Amino acid sequence: MELERVELKNAYRLLGHGPTVLVSTTDGKAPNACAVAWCAPAGKNPPRFVLRIGERHKTYQNLMAAGECVLNVPTRDALDEVMICGRKSGHDGDKLAAAGIETEAAKEVDAPRLSCCVAWLECKLVGKLELQGSGLVLLEAVLVECRPGVMRDDGHMDVERFPTLHHLGGGVFSVPGSVVVHE
Ligand SMILES: Cc1cc2nc3c(=O)[nH]c(=O)nc-3n(C[C@H](O)[C@H](O)[C@H](O)COP(=O)(O)O)c2cc1C
């Protein structure tokens, strides 16, 4: 499938509405990914994002060691993968292989992309704030691609065709119902 490149200045349009993401990393031996609901844009140009990630997560440790990751954007079709990544830890083995979650090579980072997602933001770590038991990490996207049609002709994400997952808590989510445009 031919992917579409998203201009870096428009990367925030994939995450500005608050979807849950899958943060993929590698420790050089095995790929890993965890679910992160607490993720928000923190700058448009350069495109930056802030995430809260528990310091005990394998993801946090991989991210601190490698300084890079991929923010994978799942839709309703990938709900099972989101819950597997969000309920199992890479400390206990390769959860992606165990669940048959496919990965593919990214282009600018060593962390893998997750094939079940519809958009991929390849990111470098540019800052962190350590809080009690968790870290606020600041990421900068260096390359962003999506499946054809994810971005509408007007440059916004087509959440009607690609309904992102918005975490309400536990295993409960909402999905966007429609796009409304202020003329
Ligand atoms: C829907 C969902 C959203 C989550 N959001 C966050 C989050 O925002 N921050 C966080 O630190 N953990 C979050 N978690 C928990 C981690 O994804 C979970 O602890 C995961 O097993 C960590 O995996 P790891 O040890 O392989 O990194 C979430 C879990 C679920 C199911």
Per-residue pLDDT of the chain (183 residues; tens, 9 = 90+): 899 999 999 999 999 999 999 999 999 999 999 999 999 999 999 999 999 999 999 999 999 999 999 999 999 999 999 999 999 999 999 999 999 999 999 999 999 999 999 999 999 999 999 998 889 999 999 999 999 999 999 999 999 999 999 999 999 999 998 999 998
Q: Which residue(s) pair with 151 in the sheet?
A: 157
Q: Kindly give the distance from the C-alpha atom of residue 9 to the centroid of ligand 1, in angstroms, as a whole number.
A: 27
Residue nearest to atom 10 of ligand 1 (CA): 53
Q: Which atom of ligand 1 is nearest to the CA of 53?
A: 11
Report, at the CATH architecture level, how domain 8-174 is classified.
Answer: Roll (2.30)
Cα 2 to ligand 1 centroid, rounded to whole Å: 31
Minimum CA distance residue for ligand 1 atom 29 = 86
CA-CA distance, 164 to 148, in Å (whole number)?
16
Closest CA to 62 of 141, 125, 122, 118: 125
d(CA 53, CA 35): 9
Q: How many CB atoms lie within 10 A of CB 56?
A: 12
- Cβ 9 vs Cβ 151: under 8 Å: no
pLDDT given at position 88: 98
Point out the ligand 1 atom lying closest to the alpha carbon of residue 165. 1
The angle at the Cα of 52, spanning 70 to 111, to the nearest 5 degrees, equals: 15
Annotated domain spans of the chain: 8-174
- Its pTM stands at 0.98
Residues whose CB is less than 8 angstroms from the CB of residue 80 and which lie 6 or more positions away in sequence, other chains included: none
pLDDT at 54: 96
Query: What pLDDT score does 183 carry?
Result: 86
